Structure 1
Amino acid sequence: MDRVPMTVAGYSALEAELKMRQQEERPRIIQAIAEARSHGDLSENAEYHAAKESQSLNEGRIAELEDKLSRAEVIDVTKLSGGTVKFGATVTLVDEDTEEKKVFQIVGESEADVKSGKVSITSPTARALIGKKTGDSVEVNTPGGGKSYELLDVAFR
């Protein structure tokens, strides 16, 4: 069984989603199915089929969340330190071509959200940065082409 690395915040977010889906969404869907059933003929009842589809999607997501949580390897980033990039590090890079600064944290796949500055450990950028130190130059092969960055800072917060 493969372990899934994630931060404490990522684990909490998955737990919250699971709780919401089990305690709020599931009863709401069951109520919608019961209401649709009361309308009679199920073979031509669009409400019933939509509610059953919704139930299927919700139960699938619940199973997925339970699986991820059971395989989670929670890493408390605040207890990490050092000067090399590893899981949980918040890195500051400067693009060597455009001089544009970028700051992001390396997190687990389920927590990745580029817009909020969280990059998956499996992304090309994170894989290129692992093991590097402040001042190192990093070549990243992205789907948009090669990029060259200088690593300005490594922090754990």
Structure 2
Amino acid sequence: MSEPRPRFITAEGFARLRAEYEQLFGIERPKLVEVISWAAGNGDRSENGDYIYGRKRLREIDRRLGYLSKVMKAAKVVDPARQPARDQVRFGATVELADEEDERRTLTIVGDDEADAASGRIGWSAPLARALIGARVGDERVVRLPAGEKSYEVVGLSYPE
């Protein structure tokens, strides 16, 4: 089996994954196992809601724990503050963009496992992030999106200190 490709992630993103893993493994799962064993002791399991729901939730938690474990094992933590080429968009950059109508938006390029579009954090393999990699302030990039092509100009670029 081949080595899984590295999953780039910021230290904060990795810490969030670890915290979720520890919460599920150390707190939620043991409580749930307790509820399931209590419910199992109440006789007929076919109509026992606590037992049925508990088993279903336990499977969900175990799947999520397996996924988080796999992600953390393949994770390669990158510190954007140590980026040597600060005049180009790279992993961890916070980029201010302007579109054709001069609508501004600010995004930070992060690992795919920590992306959250609502808070302006886009995964580094997203089409917009891929189009921006290597751009400098003043560069224009055209991005192919499901709704069609859109042009953006890089008007600001920064990295954490």
TM-score between both structures, scaled by the size of structure 1: 0.95
Shift of 1:71: 0.6
Alignment of 1:7-86 (within 5 A): 7-81=10-84, 82-86=86-90
Alignment of 1:93-112 (within 5 A): 93-96=97-100, 98-112=101-115
Alignment counterpart, residue 150 of structure 1, candidates 146, 149, 153: 153
5+ residue gaps, structure 1, are none
What is the root-mean-square deviation of aligned Cα atoms in Å? 1.0
Partner of 1:5: 8
Shift of 1:40: 0.4
Shift of 1:155: 1.0
Taking the aligned partners of 1:45 and 1:115, their CA distance within structure 2 comes to: 39
Which piece of structure 1 moves more, 138-147 or 3-12?
A: 138-147
Alignment counterpart, residue 142 of structure 2, candidates 139, 144, 149: 139
Which piece of structure 1 moves more, 140-149 or 8-17?
A: 140-149
Taking the aligned partners of 1:117 and 1:67, their CA distance within structure 2 comes to: 25
Corresponding residue SS for 2:14:
helix
Shift of 1:70: 0.7
Amino acid at match of 2:151: S
Indicate yes or no: 2:132 matched with 1:129.
yes
Taking the aligned partners of 2:36 and 2:133, their CA distance within structure 1 comes to: 49
Shift of 1:53: 0.6
Taking the aligned partners of 1:73 and 1:53, their CA distance within structure 2 comes to: 32
5+ residue gaps, structure 2, are none
Q: Could you list the runs of 4 or more consecutive aligned residues of structure 1 that deviate by over 4 angstroms after TM superposition? A: none
Alignment of 1:83-94 (within 5 A): 83-94=87-98
Over the matched positions of the two proteins, sequence identity in percent amounts to 35
Taking the aligned partners of 1:129 and 1:59, their CA distance within structure 2 comes to: 37
Shift of 1:124: 0.9
Amino acid at match of 2:68: L
